[in-house]
Structure formats: structure tokens, C-alpha cells
Amino acid sequence: MSQQVIASTATKARKLSAEEIAEIEHEMTLYPDKKAVGLEALKIVQKNQGWVSDESLFGIAEYLDIPVADLEGVATFFNLVYREPVGKNVILFCDSVSCWIMGCESIKGHIKQQLDIDYGQTSEDGDFTLIPVPCLGDCDRAPVMMVGPDMHRNLTPEKIDSIISDYKNKQD
Amino acid sequence: MVTKPLTKNIDMSRPPLDIAGYEANEGYQSLNAIAKGLSPEDVLQLVKDSGLKGRGGAGFPTGLKWSFVPSGDNSPKQKYLVVNADEMEPGTFKDRLLMEGDPHLLLEGMLIAAYTIQASKAYIFLRGEYTVSEQALKKAIKEAYKKGYLGKNILGTDFDLDIIMHTSAGRYICGEETALLNALEGKRANPRAKPPFPQVSGLWGKPTIVNNVETICNLPGILTYGVDWYHGLAKGNDHGTKLFGVSGKVKTPGCWELPLGLPIRELIENYAGGMQDGLELRGFLPGGGSTDFMLPGHLDITLDYDEIAKAGSRLATGTMIILDDKTCPVGMVGNLMKFYAHESCGFCTPCRDGLPWVDQIFRDFENGLGSEKDLQILHDHVTYLGPGRTFCALAPGATAPLGSGLKYFKEDFEKHITEKRCSYKH
């Protein structure tokens, strides 16, 4: 019972899929102990499920035989591990100093207006989640953001509009 | 004569060179020298003689750092090399170029470093957002294994090396080397107490060297072309070349490999093309977000570690952030404070509680609610969060732009108080 109080409202662990287990087993060959594989396992599950649910968290902890509270401590520390469902495309929006100087605030305002979401929110159609991210290391082409694995640079309101429609079309 | 050892193979209009292309341009020659009998002690001496300083920010001599790793029969058998590829310093965009542009250079450098400290395992700690770097490095690692440059008994020697890619999941604090080690061990990335230093007790308690990507990329040149050549590259007191970047409202922002020791003016005016039309240079952070502001009066200082330190700042990552006269300096420092407050790992009290307080005061200034008392609180935090008062260097890093910003842009802070607004906004 105490586990539930610390980390979760889940009542039971989700059984990890064969694909997830295969990937986790591969990671285990690269690190000397199971604890080190915890973060890798969270990423693997997220890749397959889109996010890390309480049930998945329990499932990983059980599989790796590590305390669920420790794993939750790791999951909530790292900003690229999502403990809530996200949209089909995650926008990682850089609002660090170079992008700020180059006007990222007005770009963010435009995204907010177009998708009707602020940081931490998902658009009503479930297509986009907007999250701030530390400096993306592309400062000579600021302002920048990522959508999924892709970089988008020298952003303007017009570019934002075409990026949004491109991703929407890609899914259809 | 090679004058740009870090970027000679880089052409971003095409994919990076594969192993054959890299070798055709004098790549992996250091491995032959090792196979012919160059000892770890020889390499360590070469790196010490080269005068190479760490390119990640601290500027610590690389050879000296390596020399703290215990060697000999009584030393721990397992040692680790870790490459810090977690580039996240605000305004820093240099390691991305090296990894996307020439991944084999990093691998050759890692082979040299691992051989010197006799590490049989090396991890590349790459930030998760660098998806293009990840693909480029994975491909290069595969090629190097196939060629026998990685794995067991490399080129017939008794030297083994496995390179493992670790893609991280965010958080600026992972750039701090002991926090990085905790992250790699699957723990929350809180920094560790020092001593013991990682060189003696690092990853899983074993001797570990953590080096920045650009530092490692300096090594192949030093071994292939020699120490004298390396010393001949720079114009000033430091040795070698360095990647320098300029971002902000200049005409041609970018990243270039240049000799250390050029005047700052040459970087900003010649390479970055000077300020955009209608704008004046107000100040700049010389090496990322955690460095002190410098002013237009500092433009003739040279890009040397010691010269910039004399002017009260740090060369650090060598990537400059330019402040122009139409951008609010209070807003710029406020943006940085928000970043540091957000990225504090939360482990020690001054950083966890002090930075959000500072951040809140900057938000108040922005909204015309700042007071003289607030200004005093900001000044106090420059001391409270300074070196020696916190568990690691994150909060002291934040005090660099804060303290220098309060000093150099005093009138702007005062104006926010008297006018009860930010006058840079229309």
C-alpha cells in the first residue's frame, strides 16, 4: 500500500510488451546494473506508449526489481519523460536567452493563439502539446523549436502556420 | 598546413564524411601511432605539453585532469571515459556542429583519451534533443567497429574499447559532471560532493574522466600533427583553435573555428558582420549564459582565457550572446534568471529558494512593480548564491550575468522603478 501513497494511484502494474522487454534487455547489456537502465526503460516505454502511465511505471519497476519511488523520482526529474498523456506532436519551444532576444515571445504568442494552448497543454484535437525547453543549441538561427524529432529555425508567425498545417497534413 | 583541425571535414551542405572519407583526410592516424608503440604515458605528456584547456566552460588543463586518474597494477581495473555532449548552456551551439558535421573526429579523440587513461568503456552522454547528432554518431560507431577501431584488441594491441551512446532526457544540471554521472547511473541528476573527484571515484565508483565534446575533438590533431604545430595555431597566450559563436542581433550570426587570441572585435565585426542596421552594441556575454557581461569598451581584449578573466568575465564556451541598445538589459537578465530558477536541481537551499525569489523580482520589474528594496535583495543574492555558498556551480553561474548586469545597467534597473514600467516596450 505504501507504494501507492508515494508514487501513484495505480492499483497494478501493466505487463510490458515483448517489444519493450526486448529493448530493455538490450540496454541491460550496456550498463553494469539494473538501476541504470531505469531511465532507458522509461524512454522505451514512452516511445511505444506515447507517455509513462502509473501502470507502466509500476511495470518497469517490477521488471527491473527497483523501488517504484526511486523510478518515479527519476521520471519526474527529467523533462523529456512525460508522466501525463501528450498530443501526437510535442512542440519543444526554446525560450532561452538568444531566442528571447530574437523575439520568441511573440512567436509563442502566435502558437498560443493558433492552437489555443499554453505551456503544458494539449490542443483540443490532440495534435499538439506545447512544452518549454532549455536552449536548443541552434542560437545563430533563433528563434527555434522542435516538433517531435525535427528542428525548425528562424521562426516567424507565417512559418509557424505552415509548420502546423504540415504536421496536420502528415497525419491525415 | 592544417589550420582548422576541428572543422576541416565539416561541410553542412552534405552528410558528414564516412569512415573512408575521414581516413582519406588524415583521419585515425593517431591509432597507427598507438599501434606502433606510443604509450599512454607518451600521450599524456603530449596532451600536457599541448596546453589544451577544457572547452566545456571551466577551462581546466586537460592533461592535468587526466593525470589524477590512478594508473599502474594496483589501480582499479575498470576505468571510464565519459563525453559530456549535453550541450545546454544558454546561447551555446558549438558541440552540435562538431557531432553533426564530423562524428569520426569525436570517436578518434575518444580512442586517444580512453587509451591514455586505460578505460575500456566510454559513454557519450548526449542530450536527447540532438537527434541528428545521435544518428550521425550511431552510424560512425558502427563503421568504427566494423573497421576494428573499436572493440577488442584494437589494431592488434591489447587495448579494448567499447563506446556506448546514452541519450539523455533533459535538464541543464546534467552538464555538471557529477550530476551527469548520477544521471548515467539512473539516478536523479543531483550533483555529488567533491572530493572525491570523478578522476578517482566517478561512474559506479570507478576512476572516470568527463570531457567536453570540443575538448576531445582537439586530441586527434595534437597526435597527428604534433605539439609544435598545435602551439603555432593560436595568436595569443593560449594554444590551439576554438569554436566561437555569435548570436543576437548581428548581421550574420554563426559559429566559426578561429585561433585563440584574436581580438573580440574581429569576431563580432568581421565574422558576425557587426550589428544589424539601426542597432548599437550595448554589451555581450562572452561565453554562454553563465558568464559576466562585457561592454563595447572591452572589444580590443583578445579571446584568451586569462585576458577575458582579467576583464572580470570568462571565455567559457566561447559562444557570445549580443545585447543591442533596443533590447532591455533587465529583461535579458530576467530571462536568464527564469532559466536558472527552472533548472535548479532543488538539492541545496540557496539555489532552490534563492533563484525563484530572484526570478519573481525580475517579473515584478517587468510589470512595473520593482522597488529599491527589491534591488537590494538582488544585490544580496549575488553574494548569497555566489561561489562557495552553494553545492555546485549552477547558482554561482547565475550570479555572473546578475551581478555584472546590476553593475553595468544600473540606470536601466532604476528607470524600471521610477517609471514603473519597462521603457523598451512600446
Q: Note the pLDDT tens digit of each residue in A119-138.
A: 999 999 999 999 999 999 99
Residue B56 grid coordinates: 566545456
Interface contact A101-B96, CB threshold 8 A: no
Amino acid letter for position B347: F
Task: Report the distance separating Cα B336 and Cα B14, nearest Å.
Answer: 35
**What's the predicted TM-score (pTM) here?**
0.96
Sign of CA dihedral B266, B409, B288, B307: positive
Instruction: Note the pLDDT of residue B65.
Output: 97
Q: What is the DSSP string of B256-294?
A: EEEETT-BHHIIIIIIS-SBPTT--EEEEEBTBTTS--B
Ranges of each domain in chain A? 2-77, 89-171
Fold of B19-231: Rossmann fold (3.40.50)
- Give chain B's mean pLDDT: 96
Measure B199 CA to nearest chain A CA, in Å. 19
Q: Which CATH number fits domain B244-324: 3.40.470.10, 3.10.20.600, 3.40.50.980, 3.30.420.40?
A: 3.10.20.600
Q: Once rounded to an integer, what is the mean pLDDT over residues B167-190? A: 96
Say whether A33 and B204 touch across the interface (CB within 8 A). Answer: yes
Interface size between A and B, measured as CB pairs under 8 A: 135
Of all residues in chain B, the one with the smallest CA distance to A46 is: B169
Q: Among all chains, which residue has been given the C-alpha cell 503544458?
A: A120
CA distance A152 to chain B (A): 12
CATH 1.20.1440.230 corresponds to the domain B329-419: yes
Taking only the tens place, the pLDDT of each residue in B254-283 is 999 999 999 999 999 999 999 999 999 999
What separation, in Å, do the N-terminal and C-terminal C-alpha atoms of chain B show? 54
According to the model, what pLDDT value does residue A12 have?
82
Among candidates A33, A92, A138 on the partner chain, residue whose Cβ is nearest the Cβ of B93: A138
E-strand stretches of B99-161 = 121-126
Residue A169's pLDDT is 87
Residue B32 in grid coordinates? 597507427
CB atoms A39 and B169 under 8 Å:
yes
Closest residue of chain A to B134, computed from CA coordinates = A149
- Domain ranges for chain B, please list them: 19-231, 244-324, 329-419
Interface membership of A18 toward B (CB under 8 Å): no
Distance, CA of B87 to chain centre: 7
A143 touches chain B (CB under 8 A): no
Tell me the CATH number of domain A89-171, given options 3.40.50.300, 1.10.300.10, 3.40.50.410, 3.40.30.10: 3.40.30.10
- Enumerate the β-bridge partners of residue A93: A132, A145
Sort residue B124 into left (φ over 0), alpha (ψ -120 to 50) or beta.
Answer: beta
The rounded percent of chain B whose pLDDT value lies above 70 is: 100
A102/chain B closest Cα distance in angstroms:
6
Cβ–Cβ < 8 Å for B380, B406: no
Query: How close does chain A come to B263, measured CA to CA in Å?
Result: 21
A119 to chain B, any CB pair closer than 8 A? The answer is no
* pLDDT at residue A171 tops 50: yes
Q: Tell me the C-alpha distance between B233 and B238, whole Å.
A: 10
